Amino acid sequence: MNMNRLPALWAGLGLSAALLGISFDASAALSVTTTHDSNNPARPMYTIDTNGGLVFKVRGYDNGASTQSAGDISSLVYKGVQYADQTKGTQLNSGADYLYKTTSIVGVKVELVDANGTATPASTTNGGVATGNDYIKVTLTSDGGAAGMLTHYYLVKNGQPHVYMGTYFTGEPDTLNLVRYIVRVPIAALPNGTAAGTPGGLTSDGYWPDDLRGTNAAVEASDVFGFASTDARYGQTRSKHYSNMRLKDWSYIGGTGPGVGLWIMRDNNEGNSGGPFYRSLLNQITATNNEITYIVNYGEGQTEAYRFNVLNSYTLMFTDGTPPVAPDTGWFGKLGLLGYVPPVGRGSVGVAGLSGRVPGVAYTAGFANANAQYWADVDPVDGHFTSTGMLPGTYSMTIYKNELAVDSRSVTVTANANYQLNAFALTGDPDTTPAIWRIGTWDGTPREFINGDKLTVMHPSDVRMSSWIVPDYVVGSSNAATGFAAYQWKDVNGAVKIRFTLRRGQALPYTLRIGTTTEMGGARPQVTVNGWTSAIPPATPKVSRNLTVGTYRGVNRLYTYNIPASELIVGENVLTIYPVSGTAGVKYLSPGIAYDAVDLIRTP
């Protein structure tokens, strides 16, 4: 059915708008209408008309279902079409009543705010209708006691079909140990994902990697799926995890439908954790819903502690189907939002240039402390960069060659000031050390290896993957793209052999370097060279599923092994790498590692 014709059909058929979840009682102005479900004063409902074609409802009470909490958006009507799955909430986590273990109580406060910042509470007087000219502010609160408190805002600016949101918390919600906002949209209203080059975007094969429609069975856990043997797509995989994209590469997520685009536009992500290359799930398309998930923070592949006491802002936006444009949020300063810091309270850092860069390789400057994170692209010509809008404080500034840290130093940011540094040289690039041989490039990613171009959009078992088991790598004749696998698992390709030849006079002490970008199940590499066996490196944290959920991004680790000259021979030498761990696992869930590069250098 053409969803754009629904309003006319409803009128012609005399269908009940209430049954369809549509509210026509809002005024033709910025307004809040307070009603009570079943005329029960304990069941308030707030209908908000943005005066921009969008009317949405915020539930003011707990409906007794796990996905129908106080604070949910229970109806989301744009130009007469319902974009909320009304059997479930459009909500924080799995509902604001399930944030902290110690409470299910959610405070809901609705106000109209004028241009001077004066607030007027929503009221049941005047038929429950309150109108204004400027803004609407909805405040949700969940008090977890010693675990922390979370405050979430829905904000409206007169005339705009947007729901601006902000989430501020003093401690991590301890039920799911994450903070997200999920919009569940009926699939008929929003059947499509996003374009190529955006999170979960259309692939060259013409599908969305997070589109589960047509899948019939779980390949792994309950969130990676495959197709029936009778389906032409048999052997392919789909998952919400494969909607991921490096954080620095995207600014919005969403989907499209007949004449509409529904998006969530992110802020600078200063309150998240993981840095500019962090990846996690964002979207999921099912037979019933298009689920758009904005991640404030998430435990998958985390490389640092969560951040608190920051206002994380993001905006749900409707368009005619075209991509959204970042909206102005300068008016947030009038609304008394927890954690809001205006531009005048922020500072910047600039560096005049960087030498020692490799031509053609992208460099990024990352900034991090316990309170916030930022990043900036390095100019490819002279290496200068500037990071703006930063909260005051002292930061670790890290320069990344692609995704590999090659320099780190401390910088201090003060409010309303620019901290300017002179140009400096990069000295921490492993590629600058001459090598007897090198496999791959020291860049913090495994993308130059076998299957490196597919790691983030499909499961390792997918039939479109090349075999993970390959012949021995022969230095001088093999190459990284066809001869060396991006990932190695204990139970899949558990012994990787590299053959290299030394000439007379080359049987000297050497250091083998192995770089990894993440690991699973506490794995780390142990090696043998001819008859010599290395020690086992210290254990890594036992994280799971890092290598199957669309991300190679974790902690870059450099392992070094000093090989005695007496163990090397003139002629062919055989190096074998094994992932070792005390953790059990089968096939792609066995302990494993993701490679950055492997090389052999003279022992320093």
The verdict on residue 223 lying in a domain is: no
pLDDT score for 28? 65
Determine, yes or no, domain membership for 210.
Answer: no
Q: Do 9 and 123 fall within a single domain?
A: yes
Do 424 and 443 lie in one domain? The reply is no
Instruction: Give the three-state DSSP class for 544.
Output: coil
Same domain, 156 and 12: yes
Region 99-113: mean pLDDT is 97
For the segment 172-212, what is each residue's pLDDT rounded down to a tens digit? 999 999 999 999 999 999 999 999 999 999 999 999 999 99
- Out of 312, 334, 356, pick the residue that ends a domain: 334
Is-contact 111 30, C-beta < 8 A? Answer: no
Structure tokens at 193: 């994902």
Range of weakest confidence among 10-24, 217-231, 282-296: 10-24
Q: Are residues 307 and 399 in the same domain?
A: no
Structural domain contains residue 63: yes
Q: Is residue 102 part of a domain?
A: yes
The answer to whether residue 206 sits within a structural domain is no
Sheet of 217-220: strand order equals 217-220, 224-226, 238-239
Average pLDDT, the chain: 94
User: Is the domain of 460 the same as that of 398?
Assistant: no
Mean per-residue pLDDT, 376-405: 98
Check whether 128 has a pLDDT greater than 70. Answer: yes
CATH number for the domain harbouring residue 501: 2.60.120.260
pLDDT in tens, 244-260: 999 999 999 999 999 99
Using alpha carbons, list the distances in angstroms from residue 291 to 67, 82, 184, 567.
14, 15, 5, 57
Please report where in the chains the tokens 């094994």 appear, as a residue: 578
Q: Domain residues for 317?
A: 3-200+244-334
Domain end point (choices 392, 412, 428): 428
- Which tens digit of pLDDT belongs to each residue from 282-311? 999 999 999 999 999 998 888 999 999 999
* Residue 194 sits in the same domain as residue 268: yes
Of 300, 334, 368, the residue that ends a domain is: 334
Calculate the alpha carbon distances from 458 to 70, 216, 293, 548 in Å.
Answer: 37, 16, 19, 8
Nearest to 71 by CA among 86, 57, 81, 83: 57
